[in-house]
């Protein structure tokens, strides 16, 4: 048996504390090196994301304040890196996706698509001028410009709460990917705070003051909700592409999980009471009033406080949406403004008890009371909940049918339909705009997916 040659002290010192790869084939060493580089890059990007999160308050914090609440530049480079990271490592194509050879069968647009015309009515005659766009920029958090249907520019003014900006931009990138060269050149101003800010009483919609009014035309500002007293343009919210801070997956995946969870218990075996679980500490009068209805014998309701900080520490073990369909009735209550929870409540197939909302998102305007949900009066809250529960328990077949229709509505609202809505809204907006999208783009960061991927690689 051959005796191994002794190593010199200097060789031994050089090898101490190091992982030696000399026993691996050359090709394996290259693969391991590439893997190590990828892991280091992932670590860098995740660290950058955590850096943004550490500087951004949660839903009980800065989203309760109007924009602006803090300037963006100190995290600008980090968000660019994260956007490039998402582009490279998630679902960006390595080559252009050809358009489909066979046209898709035409289907009627859902009823809520008609609200696009109402949302854009204020600018139909006056058209959107550069001055109006600039005014919208003073209210917004970011400016988004699409050029040639495949290149997105983003000018970030203020930092949005958590990952709202990133997932909104990601949704727009996915729209461009699905419809290459089809989405018109357009400039959009976005705000990512909760409450609408373009008050109808402060502007002159429809004709831009042509009737002699001294009020200015409204600024065209996109956000996640609006009201009848506001002119903000509702746009699909970020949570359709995920909300990682509270462990919510993209909508198509989350809906399927909730639907499967709802099938584990037949409707008639579910608890015969109404259920709500959420955060009441968001300056929401209706949620604060709802706490007084927490009496299953008197009001037929179980009201639970959701502590998201504690949930994050425990790994979200008690907040899985797919495990919350065990009641016949689930209550929807607005938060500081609208709440993204509506679609998850409707997905359960339970009878949704919707406390009459003040705010509207893009799809909720298609819901029909006593067909997709049961309306609850905010001024007679607890008795209204009790009446709905007692009616449903006396008429279980009818209550179940309404719940199933609500679930069917949400099943039709898949991401394909969300992208269709985004396209029609953007196309209609551009038809009313005289703003040249390429203006003032010098120094503005481009988020064209393929270029971002090359920079990371």
**Token code pair at residue 302:** 């179980």
**Token code pair at residue 35:** 């893997």
pLDDT above 70 covers a percentage of the chain that reads 68
Over residues 230-287, the pLDDT tens digits come to 999 999 999 999 988 888 899 999 999 999 999 999 999 999 999 999 888 888 999 9
Amino acid 45: pLDDT: 40
**Token code pair at residue 310:** 């504690």
β-strands 445-446, 301-305: how paired? unpaired
Query: Which stretch of 93-107, 217-231, 409-423 has the lowest confidence by average pLDDT?
Result: 93-107
Query: What is the pTM assigned to this prediction?
Result: 0.77
Over residues 275-325, the pLDDT tens digits come to 999 888 888 999 999 999 999 999 999 998 877 667 667 666 666 777 789
**Token code pair at residue 291:** 């706490």
**Token code pair at residue 161:** 């709460």
Amino acid 180: pLDDT: 87
Q: Between residues 119 and 215, which one has the greater pLDDT?
A: 119
Query: Which stretch of 43-47, 257-261, 355-359, 447-451 has the lowest confidence by average pLDDT?
Result: 43-47
Closest CA relative to residue 363, chosen from 236, 197, 278, 214: 236
Amino acid 308: pLDDT: 65
Amino acid 158: pLDDT: 84
- Matching residue, tokens 């729209």: 175
Closest CA relative to residue 324, chosen from 362, 350, 287: 350
Over residues 183-212, the pLDDT tens digits come to 999 999 999 999 999 999 999 876 544 555
**Token code pair at residue 31:** 């693969």
Closest CA relative to residue 128, chosen from 421, 435, 453, 437: 435
User: For the residues 415-423, what does the mean pLDDT come to?
Assistant: 95
Return mean pLDDT, the chain. 77
Over residues 340-349, the pLDDT tens digits come to 999 999 999 9
Question: By CB neighbour count within 10 A (0-12 exposed, 13-18 middle, 19+ buried), where does 134 fall?
Answer: middle
Amino acid 324: pLDDT: 83
pLDDT at residue 448 tops 70: no
């Amino acid at each position: 048996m051959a005796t191994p040659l002794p190593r010199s002290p200097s060789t031994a010192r050089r090898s101490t504390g190091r992982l030696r790869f000399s026993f691996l084939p050359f090709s394996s060493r290259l693969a391991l090196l590439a893997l190590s580089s990828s892991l280091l890059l992932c670590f860098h990007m995740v660290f950058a994301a955590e850096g943004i999160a550490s500087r951004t308050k949660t839903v009980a914090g800065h989203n309760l304040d109007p924009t602006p609440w803090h300037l963006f530049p100190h995290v600008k480079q980090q968000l660019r890196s994260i956007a490039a990271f998402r582009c490279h490592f998630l679902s960006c194509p390595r080559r252009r996706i050809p358009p489909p050879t066979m046209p898709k069968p035409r289907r009627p647009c859902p009823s809520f698509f008609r609200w696009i015309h109402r949302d854009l009515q204020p600018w139909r005659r006056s058209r959107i001028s550069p001055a109006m766009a600039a005014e919208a920029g003073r209210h917004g958090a970011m400016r988004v410009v699409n050029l040639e249907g495949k290149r997105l520019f983003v000018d970030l003014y203020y930092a949005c709460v958590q990952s709202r900006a990133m997932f909104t931009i990601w949704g727009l990138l996915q729209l461009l990917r699905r419809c290459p060269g089809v989405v018109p050149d357009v400039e959009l101003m976005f705000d990512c705070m909760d409450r609408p800010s373009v008050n109808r009483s402060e502007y002159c919609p429809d004709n831009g003051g042509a009737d002699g009014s001294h009020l200015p035309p409204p600024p065209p500002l996109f956000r996640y909700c609006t009201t009848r007293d506001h002119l903000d343009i509702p746009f699909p919210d970020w949570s359709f592409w995920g909300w990682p801070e509270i462990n919510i997956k993209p909508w198509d995946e989350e809906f399927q999980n909730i639907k499967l969870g709802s099938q584990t218990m037949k409707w008639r075996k579910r608890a015969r009471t109404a259920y709500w679980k959420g955060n009441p500490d968001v300056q929401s009068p209706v949620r604060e009033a709802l706490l007084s209805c927490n009496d299953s014998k008197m009001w037929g309701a179980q009201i639970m406080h959701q502590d998201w900080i504690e949930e994050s520490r425990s790994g979200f073990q008690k907040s899985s949406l797919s495990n919350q369909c065990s009641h016949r009735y689930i209550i929807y209550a607005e938060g500081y403004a609208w709440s993204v929870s509506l679609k998850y409540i409707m997905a359960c197939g339970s009878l949704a008890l919707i406390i009459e909302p003040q705010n509207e998102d893009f799809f909720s305007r298609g819901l029909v009371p006593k067909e997709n949900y049961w309306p609850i009066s905010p001024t007679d809250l607890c008795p209204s909940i009790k009446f709905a529960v007692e009616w449903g328990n006396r008429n279980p077949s009818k209550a179940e049918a309404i719940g199933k229709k609500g679930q069917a509505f949400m099943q039709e609202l898949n991401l394909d339909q969300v992208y269709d809505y985004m396209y029609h809204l953007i196309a209609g907006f551009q038809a009313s705009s005289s703003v040249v999208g390429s203006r003032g783009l010098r120094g503005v960061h481009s988020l064209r997916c393929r270029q971002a991927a090359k920079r990371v690689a």
